[in-house]
């Protein structure tokens, strides 16, 4: 079975400082992993994804994530937070068929000016 744990429900950073949003997963096979961002009252936007290949994945808006199989982690990072990054972030793992997506509980990112 697949599952996702987002370790922090809220993260608060100052503008210009690094962002780290943590995600651990559980999967019985090599997973596909995703990070989505949701702004208030909006749908979800894909930030980045990992399927196979390079374990360091670069996404939009300066975000990146590293797939670490030994640690079963897929943490999301950004070197310098911007005010517009304030949003809800979801880590997602899909099953082998790609027809089931398992969502983490979300991390709310606050950026302090």
- Contact footprint for another protein (CB under 8 A): 32, 34, 36, 41-46, 49, 51, 90, 94, 98-101, 103-106, 108
Residue-by-residue DSSP string for the chain: --EEEES-SEEEEETTS-EEE-EEEE-SSPPEEEEEEE-TT--EEEEEEE-SS-SEEE-GGG-EEEEETTTTEEEEEESS--GGG-EEEEEEEE-TTS--EEE---EEEEEE-
Q: Name which of 26 and 80 has its Cβ closer to another protein.
A: 26
Provide, rounded to whole angstroms, the least separation between the CB of residue 32 and another protein.
5
Q: Name which of 55 and 100 has its Cβ closer to another protein.
A: 100
Provide, rounded to whole angstroms, the least separation between the CB of residue 65 and another protein.
14
Provide, rounded to whole angstroms, the least separation between the CB of residue 99 and another protein.
6
Q: Name which of 74 and 104 has its Cβ closer to another protein.
A: 104
């Amino acid at each position: 079975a697949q599952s996702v744990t987002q370790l922090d429900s809220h993260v608060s950073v100052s503008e210009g400082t690094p962002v780290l949003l943590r995600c651990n997963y559980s999967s019985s096979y090599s997973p596909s992993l995703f990070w989505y961002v949701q702004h208030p009252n909006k749908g979800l936007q894909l930030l980045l994804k990992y399927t196979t290949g390079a374990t360091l994945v670069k996404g939009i808006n300066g975000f990146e994530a590293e797939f670490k199989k030994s640690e079963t982690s897929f943490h999301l990072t950004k070197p310098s937070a911007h005010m517009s990054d304030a949003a809800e972030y979801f880590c997602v793992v899909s099953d082998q068929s790609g027809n089931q997506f398992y969502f983490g509980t979300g991390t709310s990112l606050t950026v302090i000016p």
